[in-house]
Structures are given as structure tokens and as C-alpha cells.
Amino acid sequence: MRAISPLRCSALLLTAALTTGIVTVSGLAAAQEEVEIDLAPPPVRVEVIPAAPSPRHFWIHGYYGWYRGAHVWYPGRYELNRTGWSWSEARWALVGRRWHFYPGHWYH
């Protein structure tokens, strides 16, 4: 029997985690913060929502965030429900003459 290298094992574990929904948030998505800018976001993209990994998952819609001076699309994803918590979707709002970004977040 051939041994699996540590690097191959790590790749297999990451793939399993991603496909089961254990790991769902990219580093960029997690780094989103409130911003205020003059440039309106592009129209929201239409997403095809795949089947949920389990009945415990719900869909978080994709959104345009702000990264390094430009609008960047962050695709939607499934997230596990958190008992006693609700999800507030990421959104842009026109405040006066500037666009304000409110990142998605859990609240209760």
C-alpha cells in the first residue's frame, strides 16, 4: 500500500471541508468592512443557486464588496444555520451623495 504525502492529505481534507460546507468563507469575504465611496456598485449578478448540502444550510446571496479601490464580486455560498441567530445580507445604500457598504453579518 502506498502512503499519502502530508501535502496530498491536506489537499484532500480541504476539498472534503469545502464540499461539505465546513469551510465556506474565503479570506476576502471575511475581510469585508463598512466603507463609504462615491462610486455606485454595479448591478447585482443573477446567481444560479445550487442544491443545499443539507437541510441545515441556507443560501447567502453574492454581493459586490470593495477591495483595493474597486468593486469586487463575492459569489453566494451556503452557510450552516446558527440556532438563535439571524443573517443580515451584505448591502449598499446611498447615504447623501455617497455609497455606504454594510457587510453581511450574524445577529441575535
For residues 38 and 101, is the Cβ–Cβ distance under 8 A?
A: no
Distance CA(102)–CA(93), nearest Å, equals 8
Distance CA(66)–CA(73), nearest Å, equals 9
Where are the domains positioned within the chain?
6-107
Please check the confidence at residue 22 and state whether its pLDDT lies above 60.
Answer: no
For residues 102 and 67, is the Cβ–Cβ distance under 8 A?
A: no
Run of H or E residues at 77: strand 77-80
pLDDT in tens, 28-87: 444 468 899 999 999 999 999 999 999 999 999 999 999 999 999 999 999 999 999 999
Predicted confidence at residue 67, as pLDDT, reads: 94
Predicted confidence at residue 35, as pLDDT, reads: 93
DSSP 8-state symbol, 39: S
What cell does 89 get? 445580507
The pTM score is 0.68
